[in-house]
A and B are shown apart, each in its own frame.
Chain A
Amino acid sequence: MTIQQPNSFRTGPDEHGRFGNFGGRFVAETLMPLILDLEKAYTDARRDPAFQREMDGHLKTFVGRPSPLYFAERMTAHLGGAKIYFKREELNHTGAHKVNNVLGQIMLARRMGKKRIIAETGAGMHGVATATLCARFGLDCIVYMGAVDVARQEPNVFRMKMLGAEVRPVQSGTRTLKDAMNEALRDWVTNVADTFYCIGTVAGPHPYPMMVRDFQSIIGQETRVQMQEAEGRLPDSLVACIGGGSNAMGLFHPFLDDRQVEIYGVEAAGHGLTGLHAASIAGGRPGVLHGNRTYLLMNEDGQIQDAHSISAGLDYPGIGPEHAWLHDVGRVNFLSATDDEAVAALQLCSRLEGIIPALESAHALAQVEKIAPQKPKDHLMVVNISGRGDKDLASVAQYLAERA
């Protein structure tokens, strides 16, 4: 099959919410009017300079943007190839990139007069960001979290509660992120009048993949400017981890039409691609779940399979539909890293750079370890450090103890 390369990679989605054949609006009728309302409200907000101005103000003084672009000198020397820069999203308030998107959605919810915010969360970072902004703006916050994740991300559960959110452990299905998303959708179907569903990644029914991408694109926009300031030119390659793919999309999207920039997305290979993993592109097929068509992990009957990753934030059997399309048209290279490789990369980064990255971000670093040595010394590589690793210390300690 030949896939025609578009003139621009940045024009999607179309009016049906499609990126090529991916995306769409596969939701129950009850939610359809809500999604159309949301699309209209977002379109209006995007055109309103006052909305952007207010958001820029909060991004600066509440989130702490811009996040630095940092030259990782010792890691560069250690790997002996490309010059490696970290985009320091872990320095944002709440410790990850998630807050960029949540701020945008909460401001939109306020604009729409919604007082009750629901969210799903895997690692808890999106839940914490949502709880934080609900506290900041005085909104009710309910976070759905798989019971398995509640157990393995206890510090974040406590943080959300501290911020005044109600955390509802989800006992259905596999009790992880996908089930939390099912339960949030069930809540939304039930509480249609006053509730805003704050989705944490570039997935779900249109307009979510577009909207979350737009709010996260500040990562790539800043990177362009910062790399110009540091090196006088654009980077040669970008690397980011991908679960649903919001940190990656935020970094990649502003560079999609700079075709000389190599782009690498790193999925979670868990125990390896022949075992339990969470790599939807490497090990999945196109299907329809949670409002969009995308690559999914499933059996031959179309039943969704359990994903596995040591990183709760990547433990999802799907991927954002725009990533699925970017894979099919060949613009983004999708790679993967195992649990073992991610933990090793987390340890290496901690010791070389004094930065403990999130296990999610460590998947990107694991591929940097492989790609960077093959590149010349003047090759500029940016890796998105999407979150900090404090939340993962118990998981990593347990992992290391089991292997000691």
Chain B
Amino acid sequence: MTRIDTTFASLKSQGRAGLVTFVMAGDPDHETSAAIIAALPGAGADVIELGMPFTDPMADGPAIQAAGLRALKAGATLRQTLELVRGFRNTNGTTPIVLMGYYNPIYVYGVEKFLVDAKDAGVDGLIVVDLPPEEDAELCLPALKAGLNFIRLATPTTDDKRLPAVLANTSGFVYYVSITGITGSAAPDTNKVAAAVARIKRHTQLPVAVGFGVRRAEQARDFGAAADAVVVGSALVDTVRAHLTADGAPGPETVPAVAALVTDLAAGVKAARSK
């Protein structure tokens, strides 16, 4: 059992959906990012997705692209992302952390070394956007062997024929991308999402989280009624951006603003099944 498995088991026994929050590691700088991450569980985040900054995020919209570039400009590296996780684990031993990003920084770091260092820092799972099942030998299989969850994205183009291949080496949870598109696009209607989640659940016992396009508490509530968890990302990194000074420096409101949005979204998710 990883922290991810434990968390979803606990959510199930509480009879509610979870809130998965995505923030970019090192955005807007290392210290502020550490403070944001530390504030997430108290504000209601059940799982933390931590973006690994990359210069060329092919599946991300403008908000997350900009967050990654802010982090890189402030000197973020994969090594420092792992330091953020290590620092978080000094005070929190229960909230799962999933690293999300692209393969090249991990490949250049060295897969074996990365898996050892990530596990040691307290990482629980990985989402690597540009590693489909066809490339499982690269990182997925070694990660599973190292005791990390490898969480796969399923999309509207993943049909019933392909779904078993996508689910085969997936663990922790399945991340259903609610739209064909990049992060931060408009969300689809709830009925479509509910049907897609039901379709995936016919193929797997794993929890299903839904993301891409969730920005407000009401949407979180609606999606939470259909899925085991709701992922919010672009809205949070947009909140970081909106609370920086003109020259990009963090201010006194940066961390509280993100926490306030998470509190709001968490209330939405918690209301999902209490109707």
Contacts and interface: CB of A to CB of B under 8 A. Distances in A.
Q: Determine the interface band of chain B, counting residues with CB < 8 A from chain A.
A: 35 or more
Contacts of B153: 28-30
Nearest to B59: A28
A228 to B, nearest CB: 42
A302 B180 contact: no
A192 B180 contact: yes
Contacts of B61: 186
A326 to B, nearest CB: 21
B78 A29 contact: no
B134 A302 contact: no
Contacts, number: 119
B181 interface: yes
15 contacts: A16-B134, A26-B103, A26-B131, A28-B58, A28-B59, A28-B130, A29-B158, A30-B157, A33-B157, A189-B180, A288-B107, A289-B56, A289-B104, A302-B54, A303-B54
Contacts of A25: 132, 134-135
B16 interface: no
B181 A189 contact: yes
Interface string B182-217: 100100000000000000000000000000000000
B180 A178 contact: no
A302 B104 contact: yes
Interface in B70-102: 72, 77-79, 102
Given A16-B134, A25-B132, A29-B177, A302 B107 contact: yes
A303 B107 CA distance: 11
In the A-B complex, the 9 residue pairs with the closest CB atoms: A302-B108, A302-B105, A190-B181, A30-B155, A301-B77, A26-B130, A32-B132, A304-B55, A302-B104
Contacts of B102: 288
A115 interface: no
Interface of B: 53-59, 61-62, 65, 69, 72, 77-79, 102-109, 129-135, 152-159, 162, 166, 177, 180-182, 185
Residue in B55, B61, B102, B177 with the greatest tally of chain A CB atoms within 10 Å: B55
A30 B177 contact: yes
Nearest to B103: A288
A33 B177 CA distance: 15
Interface string A278-291: 00000001011111
B177 A290 contact: no
B108 A172 contact: no
Contacts of A32: 132-134, 157-158, 162
B162 A33 contact: yes
